[in-house]
Chains A and B, each alone.
Chain A
């Protein structure tokens, strides 16, 4: 998962965090501990995280945390072999949808006691963010990021097309996208698309789940039941297939990376993405604004992109207690705001006041819509097969295949993955 951030005042806030870091929740340390922490924050967010880690190391003398920065994909590829060889990290951060796979196999320590400890600073964490780290009602990680997918739109193109207000409903969204779609030479292939809606491998796999939620549909219920084959989801697929194929508001056969490229090339007026789109737009000299995914006929909701950090089986009791102290430090009042500003993601705690993050306009915009976020497939262990089934469903639906048959097929696959 790529992530770019807008960093305003992060360093200063991190320094403040040092002053306000008196509390230390979690377990008791039995002595000195040196911990390894793998994470994939490679941009400005990585610097802010390193600042928090440095502050933590300086705040006490028993625990030292050494960070190792890898790509998210590399963490996923090497964690299994590293842990099974006893050479793994003590703490690891990873995309939330991968957590249940590892937790179910016993790779992570359970953190229920930590969450129950008042000094852990977890009481005011966003419920959606906590839900994404729960597997069978047990918590296995601490969220480091939770943000709903949002629409990033090119304000210059909106202005040129005479669009003054961002659409609030699906119908308005399609109408606006049509207005922004330009086929100058009339060859049937627009040179500029109103929106880019990938039909597979979407950003954080969240676009189609977001659309399903909008019409009252879902994918999985209570972790054990597949509910993807529903009239609501069939209507959603029909609606968007018609908009994409008949109205040509979006190209077909595009994935999440392709969508980013089209938006940054100015060939699509709207895209669905995460906070990194802000810096991609800036790098490409695109004037942009952020808006929530418009409301569907039943609800306004967006699948959330989540990242969380867990304590691995390679950490002994002492290291685990030390890791919990770090988690409490990471979530304390000052760091909660500093991390939000530095990472460009909304605060993880609901009690962080809006004015604490107003200095970063991206964070401020995303914080306004944070309530719309729903964790993607929380607690589902075999997310690999479920996500592959959704990808196949949406790609084939947009390609024109029979939606009822595809939904029945997806239902069977998803249920098979859950059983």
Chain B
């Protein structure tokens, strides 16, 4: 609280550092904000919004990339929902998501809980080591894994053979190829989720754990009743990110299996790539992209609502 100056003159607050500030009206502030936002908005507009709108327009045409595309109404969308290849890609993408999301999130959470323990030696080293795969390019990682599991020259196969285990040609086995590409994605991405969980864990006040201990809560009870509820926001974030990553699965599949063997790893994004860039059916690929976008938004919304309710229950 300030008191009136003794001189009786009107009080003028000191000028902020950096010189005198010009009096801005709401319009002036708006302009300034627009000027600051302009570079980001321009980039977003040119590289995200405009291509998205273009793709939306193309999804109603027979565009191939050459010549003037013809408007064909909902034909592409009808094909998306009736083509058996797309049904196969949807099934594979769903399987990939169901395998990848829980495994990656559970592994990240388990390791974050372990490495959040201040008594653990070499914590810094392990934290860094677990994050390293995330920094590696996905395609480089995929190539490395392809060589590791190669039945002729693969190191993994060589070691396992020494233990009497025949791994076989996992990337050519229709039952093993999908788990293999999921494993590579888990290895590559869980380090990122691990760091997010670690940050979430460090935000939980230690006083709550101390109170729980005094109330006689054991380790499992503290995890169930303190850690997990207070991590729900972080969990929602990680789950949504993991699910989006799963729905967009492409890189390692393109490199390791090319969608095979016999379409068993053909995901929706692989199908989009193949339709657009191999068959030059840009209109159909655009429609498929929009259907994938809608599905992603819907699933994210469901998760938001689910975790939002949980948070309300806690409050």
Contacts and interface: CB of A to CB of B under 8 A. Distances in A.
Interface of A: 76-77, 80-81, 83-84, 101-102, 105-107, 200-201, 253, 255, 258, 261-262, 265, 267, 313, 382, 384-385, 388, 391-392, 395-396
A384 B85 CA distance: 13
A267 B262 CA distance: 27
B172 interface: yes
B260 interface: yes
B144 to A, nearest CB: 17
A393 to B, nearest CB: 9
A253 B274 contact: no
B36 interface: no
A395 B280 contact: no
Contact of A258 (B66, B152, B258): B152
Given A84-B65, A84-B66, A261-B152, A388 B263 contact: yes
A107 B262 contact: no
Given A84-B66, A105-B64, A392-B262, A382 B152 contact: no
Contacts of A382: 279
Contacts of A391: 260, 262
Contacts of B260: 200-201, 391, 395
A238 B65 CA distance: 43
A253 B279 contact: no
B18 interface: no
Nearest to B279: A384
A253 B64 contact: no
B64 A106 contact: yes
Interface of B: 64-67, 151-153, 168-169, 172-173, 258, 260-263, 274, 276-280
A245 B271 CA distance: 32
Contacts of A81: 65
A99 to B, nearest CB: 12
A388 B64 CA distance: 21
B255 to A, nearest CB: 12
A80 B279 CA distance: 10
Closest 6 CB pairs of A and B: A392-B262, A105-B64, A84-B65, A253-B172, A253-B169, A106-B66
A314 to B, nearest CB: 10
A261 B169 CA distance: 15
8 contacts: A83-B66, A106-B67, A253-B168, A253-B173, A258-B152, A384-B274, A384-B279, A395-B260
Given A384-B274, A391-B262, A392-B263, A105 B152 contact: no
A239 to B, nearest CB: 22
A107 B279 contact: no
A80 B280 CA distance: 8
A85 to B, nearest CB: 9
B91 to A, nearest CB: 16
